[in-house]
Structure 1
Amino acid sequence: MSFFHIVVVAAIVAAIGAVGWFVMPKGKNQTLLRTAVLLTLTCCYLMWAITYLAQLHPLIKPRRSDLRAEY
């Protein structure tokens, strides 16, 4: 199920990036603004995906500290 969420959110971010690409106002800073929007979307998506996957599949199994040693 995790792959489905990653792909769906990636599609949403790609759609937002495409909309941002085409609605950017014309001007001398158009390239800079497009680059900033796409880089922001990419970084936010990567941060979300890494955090989501790290919580879904942790590398270290959590241990409860309130249990006695024999359990």
Structure 2
Amino acid sequence: MIYKVFYQEKADEVPVREKTASLYIEGVSERDVRTKLKDKKYNIEFVQSVDGAFLEYEKQSENFKVLEL
């Protein structure tokens, strides 16, 4: 399953909407995704599964690229 992760680059800063970034990653669960990103030192705000029509919509974005870990 593909997940969309909303995060801040620096884990020690307060989350600010304008600085929120996102990435796509494949995993079997939210816990699996968080484990894969643990060494990145991101401040993860939210992990959302992406499937069906939502996935098709996201694939149309020029920024859609699934992170391979």
Q: Does the TM-score normalized on the shorter chain lie above 0.5?
A: no
* Relative contact order, higher structure (CA 8 A, sep 6+): 2
TM-score, reference length from structure 2: 0.19
Which is richer in strand?
Answer: 2
The structure richer in helix per residue is 1
When normalised by structure 1's length, the TM-score is 0.19
Structure possessing the higher radius of gyration over alpha carbons: 1
